[in-house]
C-alpha cells in the first residue's frame, strides 16, 4: 500500500506539494520522494511490502521515463525472468517490471496485467503523464484539474481538496493518455454465458478462488487476516491456512456487549488452528471515531460508514499492537454471489444486471471502505474474491444458477467447498449477516440514536434541503453528509448514490440499507 501523486504541469511549486501529498502519509510511512519531470512532478509515499530494501523505492526510472505505482503485480517473477533477457533489474519489487512492460507493449500493457493497481507513468518522449487503474478499482485513484487547467492525479480525494475545484474518481479499468480516458478492461459485460453444469461450475469456483488466495499470500512483510465469522472471510482464512501450511494470525471485531459474530469467528479460528485476536469496541469509541472515519473515507454513504466503524477500529488495533503489514479480506463475494436482498430478484436477468451494477460500482463502496480503513493504519489490503480470473468466471456463470432457488444464499460458493471440510458445517451453511450488523446490532442503533439527539425534526427538514444532490433522507444520513461536507466541500458527486437494495423489486422498497429490515432476514445475524 502506497500513496502516489502526479502533476502534469508545474503550476504549484515543489515546496508546496507536501501540503497536499502528506495528507496520505499513512499509506506510505516508510519513505517519501518527489521528483521533477520536464513539465511536472511525480510523488511517492512507500509502504514496503515486496522488495523491502531501499532499492525498491519509487519512482522507478528507465531511459528517462518514470513510474509510481500503488499496486501488487501477481505473477511478476516469471515476467521478470522473461524481461531480464533485455532489461536489468535492481530490486525485488514487483512494480519494477512496469516500465519494461511499457517499453515492450505501450498502452496495451494494462490489459496484460494480473494485478490490482493505480499507477502514473511519465512518458519522456511526449513529456506527458499516463495514468491507469485496475479493472475493479481495488486500488484508489482520483483526478482533477487545477486552477490553471493542468490535470493532477492522486491516491485519495483528500490530496486534491483545495487544489482542484472538482475531484473525480478515476474510472476503474481505464487508462488516461493524451487527454482521453480509454477503457481497456470490462469484467462485467458478458457476451456469452458458460454452459458448465452445476458440479463443473462449483469445481471451477473452488479452484479459481484457491488460486486467487494463493497468489495474494506472496509478501515479504508479515501477513494477517480479517475474520468476521461469515462465509467469505472464513473461506479466505481456511484456504490460506492450508496453502501456507502454518498457523495464521486472524483478527475479529465486535461491540463489547452484543458482538454477534465474534463467537463464529472464534469457532473458525479454533477449527483452522489460527492465532486469533478479538478486538472489542464500545459505543463511545464508535461515536468518538465517527468524524475521523468519515474524513478518511471521503464518503457520505450510510452503509459504507456503518461498516467502516468496526473495520477501522479493528485495523487500528492491529497497527498499534502488531507488526502486520498485509491483511487479506473477504470483500467482493456479495456482489458476485448475491446479498440478502437479491433473493428478491424477479428474474435471472435482473440478478445479473444487479450484480454487474454492484461490481462496476464497488470502488465507491465496499472496496473504498476496505482500502481506507486498512491504509489509514499503514497496512495493505488484499482481496482474493477480486481476483480477475475469478470475477470474470463468476460473472459468466448462467445467472439462473446463481439465483437463490436453494433456500440458501451463495449456494454455489458453499457447495464448491462442501467436500473439502475446510470449515465447520454450521459456518459453511450459516445464513449471511451484514458486517455492520454482525459486529453488534447496538452499533447501528447507537449511531441512529446519536443522530436523533443531534437534530430536531425541524432542523432535519431544514438542513437536509441544502443538498440538491442525493438529499439526506434520515437524520443519520444528514449527520454523515454534514461531516463529509466539512472535509470535502462541494464534492458529493464523487459517490453515485446511497447504497440501497433495488427498490424496484418487490420486498426491497425499504428506507434503511440494513438487511435487518428485509422480510427474509430470518436467523441472519443471530
Residues noted as catalytic:
2
* DSSP H or E stretch at residue 280: strand 275-281
* Helix, strand and coil percent figures for the chain, each rounded to 5: 45, 15, 40
Q: Are 93 and 50 in contact (CB under 8 A)?
A: yes
Residue 150, all three cell numbers: 493542468
Residue 123, all three cell numbers: 512518458
- Give strand pairing partners of 42: 6, 35
Which segments of 273-347 does DSSP mark as H helices, in order? 283-297, 302-321, 333-337
- Residue 504 Cα to chain centre, angstroms: 27
> Counting Cβ atoms within 10 Å, is residue 62 exposed (0-12), middle (13-18) or buried (19+)?
middle
Cell numbers 501488487: residue: 72
Q: Which residue from 134, 154, 136, 135 is spatially nearest to 144, judged by alpha carbons?
A: 154
Edge to edge, the sheet with strand 3-7 lists 31-36, 41-46, 3-7, 151-154, 142-145, 168-169
Q: Is the peptide bond before 59 cis (omega within 30 degrees of 0)?
A: yes
| Gap between the Cα atoms of 433 and 168, Å rounded | 32
| Gap between the Cα atoms of 196 and 188, Å rounded | 18
| Gap between the Cα atoms of 390 and 212, Å rounded | 7
SS3 state of residue 327: strand
**β-strands 249-255, 223-226 pairing:** parallel
| Gap between the Cα atoms of 265 and 237, Å rounded | 10
| Gap between the Cα atoms of 251 and 265, Å rounded | 8
Residue 407, all three cell numbers: 433456500
Residues 6+ apart with CB under 8 A from 283: 255, 442, 443, 446
57: which DSSP letter? P
| Gap between the Cα atoms of 116 and 135, Å rounded | 8
| Gap between the Cα atoms of 105 and 132, Å rounded | 15
| Cα distance from N-terminal residue to C-terminal residue, the chain | 35
Beta-carbon count within 10 A of 168 CB: 15
Residue 152, all three cell numbers: 493532477
Amino acid at each position: 500500500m502506497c500513496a502516489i501523486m502526479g502533476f502534469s504541469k508545474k503550476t504549484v511549486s515543489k515546496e508546496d506539494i507536501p501540503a497536499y501529498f502528506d495528507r496520505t502519509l499513512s499509506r506510505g510511512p516508510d519513505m517519501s520522494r518527489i521528483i521533477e519531470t520536464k513539465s511536472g512532478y511525480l510523488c511517492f509515499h512507500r509502504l514496503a511490502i515486496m522488495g523491502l530494501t531501499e532499492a525498491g523505492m519509487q519512482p522507478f526510472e528507465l531511459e528517462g521515463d518514470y513510474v509510481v505505482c500503488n499496486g501488487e503485480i501477481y505473477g511478476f517473477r516469471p515476467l521478470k525472468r522473461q524481461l531480464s533477457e533485455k532489461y536489468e533489474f535492481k530490486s525485488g519489487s514487483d512494480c519494477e517490471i512496469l516500465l519494461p512492460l511499457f517499453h515492450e507493449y505501450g498502452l496495451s500493457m494494462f490489459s496484460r496485467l494480473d494485478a490490482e493497481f493505480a499507477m502514473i507513468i511519465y512518458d519522456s518522449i511526449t513529456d506527458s503523464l499516463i495514468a491507469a487503474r485496475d479493472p475493479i478499482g481495488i486500488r484508489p485513484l482520483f483526478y482533477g484539474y487545477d486552477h490553471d487547467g493542468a490535470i493532477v492525479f492522486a491516491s485519495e480525494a483528500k490530496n486534491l481538496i483545495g487544489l482542484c475545484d472538482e475531484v473525480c474518481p478515476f474510472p476503474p479499468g481505464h487508462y488516461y493518455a493524451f487527454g482521453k480516458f480509454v477503457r481497456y478492461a470490462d469484467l462485467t459485460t458478458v457476451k456469452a454465458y458458460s454452459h458448465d453444469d452445476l458440479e463443473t461450475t462449483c469445481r471451477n469456483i473452488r479452484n479459481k478462488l484457491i488460486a486467487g488466495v494463493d497468489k495474494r499470500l506472496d509478501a515479504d512483510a508479515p501477513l494477517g487476516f480479517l475474520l468476521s465469522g461469515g462465509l467469505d472471510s472464513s473461506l479466505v482464512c481456511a484456504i490460506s491456512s492450508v496453502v501456507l501450511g502454518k498457523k495464521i494470525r486472524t483478527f475479529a471485531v465486535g461491540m463489547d456487549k452484543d458482538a454477534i459474530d465474534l463467537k463464529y469467528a472464534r469457532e473458525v479460528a479454533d477449527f483452522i488452528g489460527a492465532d486469533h485476536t478479538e478486538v472489542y469496541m464500545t459505543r463511545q469509541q464508535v461515536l468518538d471515531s465517527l468524524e475521523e472515519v468519515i474524513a478518511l473515507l471521503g464518503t457520505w454513504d450510510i452503509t459504507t460508514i456503518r461498516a467502516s466503524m468496526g473495520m477501522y477500529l479493528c485495523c487500528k488495533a492491529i497497527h498499534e499492537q502488531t507488526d502486520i503489514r498485509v491483511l487479506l479480506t473477504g470483500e467482493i463475494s456479495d456482489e458476485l454471489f448475491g446479498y440478502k436482498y437479491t433473493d428478491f430478484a424477479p428474474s435471472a436477468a435482473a440478478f445479473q444486471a444487479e450484480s454487474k451494477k454492484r461490481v462496476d460500482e464497488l470502488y465507491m463502496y465496499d472496496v473504498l471502505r476496505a482500502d481506507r480503513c486498512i491504509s489509514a493504519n499503514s497496512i495493505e489490503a488484499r482481496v482474493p474474491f477480486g481476483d480477475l480470473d475469478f470475477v470474470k468466471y463468476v460473472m459468466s456463470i448462467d445467472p439462473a444458477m446463481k439465483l437463490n432457488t436453494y433456500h440458501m444464499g451463495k449456494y454455489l460458493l458453499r457447495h464448491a467447498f462442501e467436500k473439502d471440510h475446510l470449515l465447520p458445517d454450521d459456518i459453511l451453511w450459516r445464513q449471511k449477516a451484514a458486517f455492520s450488523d454482525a459486529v453488534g446490532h447496538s452499533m447501528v442503533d447507537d449511531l441512529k440514536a446519536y443522530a436523533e439527539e443531534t437534530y430536531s425534526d425541524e432542523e432535519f427538514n431544514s438542513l437536509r434541503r441544502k443538498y440538491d444532490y442525493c438529499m439526506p433522507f434520515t437524520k443519520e444520513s444528514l449527520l454523515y453528509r454534514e461531516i463529509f461536507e466539512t472535509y470535502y466541500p462541494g464534492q458529493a458527486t464523487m459517490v453515485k448514490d446511497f447504497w440501497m437494495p433495488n427498490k424496484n423489486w418487490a420486498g426491497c422498497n425499504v428506507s434503511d440499507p440494513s438487511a435487518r429490515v428485509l422480510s427474509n432476514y430470518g436467523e441472519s445475524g443471530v
